[in-house]
Amino acid sequence: MLSQESTPILDALKNYMHENTISFHVPGHKHGVGNPEFTEFIGKNAMNIDLTIMPDLDSIMHPTGVIKDAETLAAEAFGADRAFFLVNGTSSGIQAMIMAACREGDKILLPRNAHKSAISSIILSGAEPVYIRPEISKDYGIAMGITMSETSNVIRKNPGAKALFIINTTYYGVASPLLELAKLAHENNMAVLVDEAHGAHLAFHESLPHSAMEAEADLSASSTHKLAGSLTQSSMLFLKGERFSPEYVKSILNIFQTTSPSYILLASLDSARKNMALRGRELVARAVNLAQWARYKINHIRGLRCMGSEVLEFGRGLDLDPTKLCISVKELGITGYTAAKILREKYRIQVELSDYYNILAVVSIGDTKSTVSALVKALAAMAGDLGASKKIKPPHVPELPIPELALLPKEAFFSEKRPHDFKESYGRISGEMIMAYPPGIPIICPGEIITRDIINEVLMLKEAGGLVQGMQDRHLNYISVIK
């Protein structure tokens, strides 16, 4: 009998190990014997369960045994009809979702700040991206969620689009009005695809934004490794409803997945699912409480501000995952990059990311009062040291219209390109992507027409010390354009 108490993959691996089977299969380290130094460091158990496809361990390409059982339990625990284990990260799940929904020339609606795996799948599938402008917080200098009104406009202008792609939540924890967006997309016969790289924990506590499966999304890709306790690279793809057949989705996943999945990663997914199914609510509640305590404390430190309910002002239904601590340091007169460096070098604290205005600290099921107190203490000490420092003027946050698309990303990708003087490049078709920080969203993508406004804004941003990244010429004297 399958139950959430069981771990089918992990149990099969332990069985294999305890039977002392003599291995004449890959991996060639053969239980670590072939690589003693690494085995001694990482431990014999890890090497013993680093195994390969065989009848009792099932096959990820066509699961019928323990992998199928583990996926069935995961679907139940995360509220899906089907779950597929991924060992190439959520990136591979995003690629599969888009390939499942879009063929050559089909339109897909997606926020401008979508992850690069979405863009790579658009290149592969030949789909046409129609971007939705996310709300931008000028105060924090970051992209927030997409609103119902902006999305409805884009849907109205693109009636035949095949899919709506939603990020739940953004890296900074901002959720768009998922339930309403999913309903609207379905009413317009579009598939709902959700990037839940930062949302694996959402289904386990009612104080968090809704999960994709709660919103009846058709497919969602979830980084179990980021926030639900499995090992890095291990993720899950969830399916709900009838729009996509599980067999079709699986056949697409098999294009992207390795044929040699790591059983250590698969076992970690199995074990993380058990942990979340049995204790997820309690663990996530603890993380939420710790993060809310830290937010309160940080907001009482002079010069610091931790993002909270102001997110709600950006549109009806926008929400925040409180476990993400986006801390603005601009009032201290330093950039987020400098703050991250100080925290690491002086206080041995490594944050998840930094941008021009902020640092982002992630509180998760692995935190305790002592780790979160150490963060608050370090922030207070850093702010105290910097109190009297000279203030910097943060760069202005560009808010440009989305440029016109002249070539599909697939056509642009395969076209011949040449470098062109950036200042004189208006009217040309860009052959590359340029990211601007703040607000951390692409200012131009391959296939789009460069405008004078784009050139002016980018030059102003550079002048003010903002970051412009992604292009081949890192000084952006030249931009790659389509020949």
Q: How near is the Cβ of 98 to ligand PLP at its closest, in Å? A: 12
- Of 467, 450, 343, give the one whose Cα is nearest residue 404: 450
Where in 434-453 is the site for ligand PLP (CB under 6 A)? none
Cβ proximity to ligand PLP, 8 vs 229, nearer residue: 229
Shortest Cβ 269–ligand PLP spacing (Å): 12
DSSP-derived letter for residue 478 is: E
Task: Kindly report the backbone phi and psi dihedral angles of residue 451, in degrees, each rounded to the nearest multiple of 5, phi listed first.
Answer: -110, 165
Choice between 39 and 117, CB closer to ligand PLP = 117
Cβ of residue 42: shortest distance to ligand PLP, in angstroms? 22
* Sign of the torsion formed by the C-alpha atoms of 172, 178, 184 and 189: positive
Cis peptide before 27 (omega within 30 of 0): yes
Residues 117-156, mask of contacts with ligand PLP (x by CB under 6 A): x---------------------------------------
Q: How far apart are CA 181 and CA 178, in angstroms?
A: 5
Q: Of the two residues 94 and 441, which places its CB atom closer to ligand PLP in the complex?
A: 94
**Which is closer to ligand PLP, CB of 191 or CB of 236?**
236
Min CB(88)–ligand PLP separation in Å? 7
- How many positions of this chain bind ligand PLP (CB under 6 A)? 12
As measured in angstroms, the least distance from the Cβ of 180 to ligand PLP is: 21
Written as one string, the DSSP assignment of 319-356 is EE-TTEEEEE-GGGTS-HHHHHHHHHHHH----SEE-S
Q: Select 223 or 358, whichever has its Cβ closest to ligand PLP.
A: 223
Of 197 and 383, nearer to ligand PLP (C-beta) is 197
**Which of residues 171 and 422 has its CB atom nearest to ligand PLP in the complex?**
171
CA distances from 81 to 73, 75, 108, 272, 276 (A): 10, 6, 24, 19, 18
| Residue 208 contacts residue 321 (beta carbons within 8 Å) | yes
Q: In this chain, which of 50, 58, 69, 195 binds ligand PLP, going by CB under 6 A?
A: 195
The secondary structure of residue 31, as a DSSP letter, is T
Which CB atom, from 359 or from 450, has the smaller least distance to ligand PLP? Answer: 359
Residues 153-172 interacting with ligand PLP (rule: CB under 6 A): 167, 171
Cβ atoms 212, 165 nearer than 8 A: no
Dihedral-angle region of residue 293 (phi above 0 means left; psi in -120 to 50 means alpha; beta otherwise): alpha
**Binder to ligand PLP among 115, 205, 240, 420 (CB under 6 A)?**
115
**Which of 121, 147, 176, 223 touches ligand PLP by CB under 6 A?**
223
**Which parts of 365-424 interact with ligand PLP (CB under 6 A)?**
none
Distance in Å, CB of 278 to ligand PLP, minimum: 24
Nearer to ligand PLP among residue 197 and residue 379 (C-beta): 197
How far apart are alpha carbons 244 and 104 in whole angstroms?
A: 18
Q: Which of 98, 197, 325, 332 binds ligand PLP (CB under 6 A)?
A: 197
Fill in the amino acid letter for 6: S
Report, in Å, the least distance between residue 377 CB and ligand PLP.
Answer: 28
Shortest separation between residue 227's beta carbon and ligand PLP, angstroms = 11
> Strands (DSSP E) along 148-268, which ranges?
163-167, 174-175, 191-196, 219-222, 235-239
Find the residue with minimal CB distance to ligand PLP: 89
Binding test (CB under 6 A) with ligand PLP, winner from 125, 235, 323, 480: 235
108: nearest Cα among 183, 166, 171: 166
For Cα atoms 448, 454, 458, give the angle at the middle one, nearest 5 degrees: 125
Q: How far is the CB of 117 from ligand PLP (least distance, A)?
A: 6
Q: What burial class does residue 77 get, using C-beta atoms within 10 Å of its C-beta: 0-12 exposed, 13-18 middle, 19+ buried?
A: buried
Backbone angles phi, psi at 83, to 5 degrees: -125, 145
Please, which of residues 57-96 interact with ligand PLP by CB under 6 A? 89-91, 94
Nearest residue (CB) to ligand PLP, 235 versus 335: 235
Provide, rounded to whole angstroms, the least separation between the CB of residue 224 and ligand PLP.
9
Select 47 or 181, whichever has its Cβ closest to ligand PLP.
Answer: 181
DSSP codes, 69-112: HHHHHHHHHHT-SEEEEESSHHHHHHHHHHHHH--TT-EEEEET
| Euclidean distance between CA atoms 178 and 326, whole angstroms | 21
- Closest CA relative to residue 71, chosen from 208, 224, 193: 224
Task: Kindly state whether residue 201 participates in binding ligand PLP, applying the rule CB under 6 A.
Answer: no
Cα dihedral 450/451/455/460 (nearest 10):
-140
- Phi-psi region for residue 264, left (φ > 0), alpha (ψ -120 to 50) or beta? alpha
Q: 174 vs 382, which CB is nearer to ligand PLP?
A: 174
Residues in contact with ligand PLP by CB under 6 A are 89-91, 94, 115, 117, 167, 171, 195, 197, 223, 235
